[in-house]
Structure 1
Amino acid sequence: MAPLIALIGGFAVLRVLGLAGVDALDGWQPAVRGGLALMFFMTGVAHFVGKLRADMIRMVPPRLPNPTLLVNVTGVLEILGAIGLLIPATARFAAIGLALLLVLMFPANVSAARRELDFGGRPATPLPRRTAEQVLYVAAAVLAAL
């Protein structure tokens, strides 16, 4: 839920700032890129923080090798992608890369839901809701790439 709040909240705040006269944020695309950057920076950092890190490592499908390395790599890619979204010269490529990363990481969400993993008393996000969120995130990344 936190990534969804970051995306929507970040977009809303940046869009309001653009409408209030901040030229660099005047338009929907800078707001989408900023909301995505906030979301991916937040989720990227979570790949390296205590309990959240352990939960992400457990989410990796058992058939994949070295879950710790996969979580490290995806965390770094998310942080780099978030930074790339904020640089006009790299924003399009970052958005495309992040959309592809979302698609590649989706099996971990499917695996967590199917294995009914528990994360500190809260169950993995149900697959229909997670799928809808993932579609929204990919759509936002595609819009950011336009």
Structure 2
Amino acid sequence: MEPLITLVLVTGALWALGALGVRPLRPWPTALRGGLAAMFVLTGVAHFVGKRAELIAMVPPFLPAPALLVTVTGVLELAGAAGLLWSRTAPWAAAGLSVLLVAMFPANVHKALTVVPLGFDDQLVPRTALQLVFLAATLAVVGRHVHELRRHRATEPSGERGAMIPGATARPTG
């Protein structure tokens, strides 16, 4: 439940700061990226400190080297969190974290089906719902970027198709 609380509180705080006049935080995707970054720092650090043994035990037995997998996924979560903070890498980081959430889901299923007793938020249905919220948030960042690219393409003159990223300049073709 801590990751959800972190996501909601940090996103809400950043969004509120944007509403109060902090210009860089005004767009909702920026606040969401900050909330996701905080959440993935929290979960990424847990791969190394505090919950490492529990996370290793969650790895399904058909996967090799559980400790290595937990280390790799922790590093990927921390790298993804850092990538979310820079607008140029944020969509790529969000897409990678989306894939990571899907790839790690079998560990949640394995834990829900093999560990007894479970707290409410570790049971399969609530855990799945949480994963869907996190996935929706990462995909919202990707979707917003795609929307911005399409809008940018629709407003640029037809001869300047080289500028794919908002804020980038088109390269001369001649």
On whether the aligned pair clears a TM of 0.5, the verdict is yes
The residue aligned with 1:35 is: 35
Superposed CA offset, 1:8-36 (max 9, x none) = 11110000011011111002100110110
For the 8 Å contact 1:84–1:94, the answer to whether it is kept is yes
Could you say which residue in structure 1 is the equivalent of 2:140? 143
Specify the structure having the higher radius of gyration (Cα).
2
Runs of 4+ deviating beyond 4 Å: none
What is residue 171 of structure 2 aligned with on the other side? none
TM-score, with length taken from structure 1 = 0.94
Letter in 1 for 2:126: R
Query: Residues 106-144 of structure 1: CA distance to partner in whole angstroms, max 9, x if unpaired?
Result: 00000000002568xx57701000111111100000111
The CA RMSD measured in Å over matched residues stands at 1.4
- The structure with the greater share of residues assigned to helix is 1
Matches within 5 A, 1:89-104: 89-104=88-103
Relative to structure 1, the CA distance from residue 117 to residue 58 in structure 2 (aligned partners, 3 Å threshold; closer, same or farther) is farther
Question: d(CA) in 2 for partners of 1:84 and 1:19?
Answer: 24
Mapped partners of 1:75, 1:53: distance in 2: 10
Cα distance in 2 for residues equivalent to 1:103 and 1:95: 12
The number of equivalent residue pairs is: 143
The range that moved more, 22-31 or 67-76, is: 22-31
Query: 1:1-146 to 2 correspondence within 5 Å?
Result: 1-50=1-50, 52-117=51-116, 122=119, 125-145=122-142, 146=144
Whole-angstrom distance in 1 between the partners of 2:78 and 2:53:
18
Please, what TM-score do these two structures have when normalized by structure 2?
0.79
The answer (yes or no) to whether the contact 1:112–1:124 under 8 Å persists in 2 is no
Asked which structure has the greater RCO (Cα within 8 Å, sep 6+), the reply is: 1
